[in-house]
Amino acid sequence: MQLAPLFPIFYQILKPAFPNCLWCGDHNSKMVALTFDDGPHPLYTRQLLEVLDRYKIKASFFWLGACVNRSPEIAKEVYSRGHWIGLHGYDHQNFPMLSPWELQHSLEKTLTAIYNACQLQPEQVRDVRPPNGLFTPETLKLLRQWSYRPVMWSVVPEDWALPGTYTVVQRVLKQVRGGSLIVLHDGTHGGQDVAVTTQTLIPQLLELGYQFVTVDTLWQQVRFEIT
């Protein structure tokens, strides 16, 4: 089942219901954030970095701790280029299926992997995107309790299902607006096409007048901050 048509509906329902998450930035701006989940991957992430370097664009990466441990040199390469780093759990388990201890341990193991690869201190990596976008009010309560910032999405073109570059790009262009938080994947599922998709998408968004920023910049646009 293709979920892509449903994500804009989910967004409209969930955004007002859970306002203390980052769903988007300022709709009156021309800023958008490209974000990439499930990496780093030894091949796909490196291909993606070449595209981002070509256009001098900074993106945001939400990493799996297990992937960081498998490819620490790629993780270091991403961070050294100035991209924003967030957490996606250790091994892509849905957060609501974990006990509070298991969730905290998953995030802390990921922080340790990132520190070992990039020398990034834990307090420098506080953004968390739940795998598959699944969370509960209790999940958010725990994340706030542990001083994390929950980051969600506003444009999800379902690239992990590999519908083809053209389809993914058209889905993004149909939904994008100022402040959009766009989710793509550079991991095992979806990463096969991510470099070509990004290479195709960036020039078209630039032509439409959009400026690319990191998730941290979108946080600065909203009027609240998770405490």
Give the residue numbers marked as catalytic.
37, 185
- CA distances 166 to 62, 81, 172, 174, 196, Å, are 24, 28, 10, 12, 10
Angle between helices 191-207 and 44-55 (to 10 degrees): 10
- CA distances 219 to 23, 24, 41, 177, Å, are 10, 8, 27, 16
List Cβ neighbours of 17 (8 Å cut-off, separation of 6 or more).
none
Task: Cite the beta strand spans of 108-190 per DSSP E.
Answer: 127-128, 149-150, 181-185
Rounded CA separation 149/215 (Å):
11
Token pair 């991209």 in the structure block, residue: 83
